Amino acid sequence: MVVKKIIKILLKYPLKIANSIYVNRFYRKNLGRVYEIDNIIDHLDSILVFSPHVDDETIGLGGTLLKGKNIASKMALVYMTDGRGSTSNLSSHRLIEERKREGCRVKEAYGFEKIYFLDEPDGGLDSTKDKLIEKIVDVLDKEKPTIIFTPFLIDGHRDHVETTRLVIKALEKWDTSFSRIYMYEVNSPILPKLITSLTTMGPSLYNEKGKMYAIFKSQWAMGFDAFRLMDRGKRLLIEENKTYAAEVFVKADVNTAKAMDLALEAEGFNPNDFKQLSSQYNLILSFMKNKKKKKELSDRVYGILKRNDKITNL
């Protein structure tokens, strides 16, 4: 254990440099594409965020939510799982309680009017559970959102993928014409060709989002600085880098999202095939593990987005 700590200390700064170079090269080579930039912010109204775990909402769209705090008419947040799967020295019961307290701090920090805890077991989210789908339909009925945020379907965590599958199934029951689903990136980098929309962050907003990570004290094993580096790298997606940092989204309507999910299922998609980003120590691995498979899956999704005119630069 001591040797492992020493190795981490020795690798810390060389890894930061290597990660920065890798991330910048990854995003810079995708210059020239056209995205909806801050279009989400221009049309915020009633926001509903689905977050598999406490902290996913901040990783994926903290900057967007901070902008929405002063624009949207109302915002609501749904936590899908109880958080017991986090790495911690606490008992499961105490960890669940602590994660809920952190969720309540998130509610206050972003100005959510309502927060829902669905309390599904962390790591065991199941999109085939009819009762769970009905719970989500009930939330949709109460909140009547005009925009929904949920994780992107190609992700390295089962709960993230199952969350969006549940949202799709609930929307099929609630409103099949719903067209403003924004899928956000959590622990698995989205290939730029799939990105449809970006939210930009200046230095002040970027730092404000960075301070939000202090809420998640139970997540001591997470290296949130890796996600901050990713946000900085995404600025390179914008011509002439006219921003300091950015968050990325894949926009879809219900039918497009459903088609994407079916295509991924047909390709044998398994979240465990990919490495979740959790710190500077596995950042490059999160890009590289099963890179070819991820490209193949992304190509299938790209074809669906293109066919349904969700990609703006064809």
Q: How far is CA 43 from the centre of its chain?
A: 20
The whole model's pTM is what? 0.94
Pairing of strands 74-81, 181-184: unpaired
In the prediction, which pLDDT does 86 show? 66
What percent of the chain lies above the pLDDT cut of 70? 91
Question: From CA 221, how far away is CA 87, in angstroms rounded?
Answer: 6
The Cα–Cα gap between 217 and 129 comes to 31
- Give the H/E segment covering residue 116: strand 114-120
| Maximum distance among all Cα pairs of the chain, rounded to whole angstroms | 56
Angle, helix 130-143 to helix 158-174, in steps of 10 degrees: 60
Q: 109-135 burial by CB neighbour count: b if 16+ within 10 A, else e?
A: bbebeebbbbebebeebebeeeebbeb
b/e map 182-203, b = 16+ CB within 10 Å: bbbbbbbbbbbbbbbbbbbbee
Q: Higher model confidence: residue 115 or residue 221? A: 115
- 25 is written with which tokens? 């090269």
Is pLDDT above 80 for 7? no
144 pLDDT more than 70: yes
Tokens of 77: 């947040």
CA 32 to chain CA centroid, Å, is 24
pLDDT band at 39 (very low <50, low <70, confident <90, very high): confident
pLDDT tens digit sequence for 154-195: 999 999 999 999 999 999 999 999 999 999 999 999 999 999
Q: How is the chain split into domains, by residue range?
A: 19-307
Does the pLDDT at position 310 exceed 90? no
User: β-pairing, 114-120 with 245-252?
Assistant: unpaired
Question: CATH number of 19-307: 3.40.50.10320, 3.40.640.10, 3.40.1360.10, 3.40.630.30?
Answer: 3.40.50.10320
Phi and psi dihedrals of 80, rounded to 5? -80, -40
3-state DSSP assignment of residue 108: helix
Q: Please state the length of the chain.
A: 314
Residue 179 CA: distances (Å) to CA of 35, 174, 195, 208 = 17, 12, 16, 30
For the chain, the first-to-last Cα distance in angstroms comes to 52
CA–CA separation, 11 and 229 (whole Å): 17
CA-atom Rg of the chain in angstroms: 18
pLDDT, averaged across the chain: 91
